[in-house]
Amino acid sequence: MKTQHGGKRYGIFSGVLWGLDTVVLAIALAMIPFADFGQSALAGAVLHDVACAVILLVYMAVRGRLKDTWAALRTRPGKSVIAAALLGGPIGMSGYLIAIDNIGPGLTAIISTFYPALGTLLAFALLKERMAPRQIIALLVALGAIVVTGLSATSDPVEGGNAILGVAGALACVIGWGSEAVILTWGMRDEAVDNEVALQIRETTSALVYLFVVAPIAGVFGFTLHSLAHLSAGVVALAGLAGTASYLFYYKALSAIGASRGMALNISYSAWAIIFALVLQGTVPTATQVVCCVVILVGTVLAATPSWGDLLPRRASTITDDKA
């Protein structure tokens, strides 16, 4: 039971920190030189993942665990984490950015937010994970609230955008992120690949592919290097620090409570992002967004809780009986 409750806390923390990461990264991309660059989102993603990889390298080195990562890379589960990294990083995130460029951030957020639904289906089929009908309903309600939030923020169609390419990119994001969590959960069932080792493999793989494959092909490699001389690069690194902490909690949640419930808690970041935008940017949410925040937070917690009675405060008499 302690593992289940701990896993739930990890999932909630992952959502909180990813919401912070999202807002801080948005602040960085509004600064010079990103604000004047047409592919700032992709350049920011490259710098963000490289920052995460470097932070994790230092973290694992201080803990004396680099040898564990190297040993895990020679195992089958370790190699599966590399595949998950490609699905969730360059494929999933690149699809996300392509969608933003072609159909706008609002519609992209609406489509991409359904990655937990696909992940839950894959976890059921491949990992034999089970969620009670009420948990699935709670997840769908939370997803519905995210859709409403996305609709409220949807901007005008992107001028010159390719709708088919945009939708294809968003679907690639759904497939990449949904399958990533399932593959990671399977890989971390092996004792040679714990959550920290899995995360270092994931982030290092993603950073290397972004830096030496995606960035040169997309033509943002030179700009990414140029951005290092500006304060905004430091802000991206701060976002990367929040993102790294979020990933650590997310991977702990996946390992402790499984892919379905871990993803359900992680998508609460959409609500936390609205809260952090208010605190850090002064962006006042609408009444609709406030209501949706509450629904998202409640829905994700219910979706990750097999027995909803565990959420109720225990009566003093019950506690006394337990001690007796």
State the pTM of this model.
0.84
> Exposed, middle or buried, 3 (CB in 10 Å: 0-12/13-18/19+)?
exposed
Q: What does the radius of gyration of the chain's CA atoms come to, in whole angstroms?
A: 20
Give me the numbers of helices (H) and strands (E) for the chain, helices first please. Answer: 16, 0
C-alpha span between 50 and 40 (Å, rounded): 15
Residue 61: per-residue pLDDT: 96
Which residues, in sequence order, are CB contacts of 231 under 8 Å at separation 6+? 31
The single-letter code of the amino acid at 245 is A
pLDDT, position 312:
62
Q: What is the pLDDT of residue 113?
A: 75
Neighbours of 151 (CB within 10 A): 14
- Domain-by-domain residue ranges, the chain? 2-309
Taking the C-alpha atoms of residue 109 and residue 91, their distance in angstroms, rounded to an integer, is 16
Q: Tokens standing for 310?
A: 């565990």
Distances (CA, A) of 90 to 23, 150, 152, 175: 21, 23, 28, 12
Q: How far apart are CA 162 and CA 32, in angstroms?
A: 28
The tens place of each residue's pLDDT in the chain, 324 residues long, gives 445 566 789 999 999 999 899 889 889 988 999 988 888 888 988 999 999 999 999 999 999 999 999 999 999 999 999 999 899 888 888 888 788 777 776 677 777 778 888 888 888 888 888 888 898 899 899 888 888 877 766 555 566 678 888 888 888 988 998 899 899 889 888 888 898 999 999 999 999 999 999 999 989 999 999 999 999 999 999 999 999 999 999 999 988 888 888 888 888 888 898 899 889 988 888 888 889 889 988 988 888 888 777 666 655 444 444 444
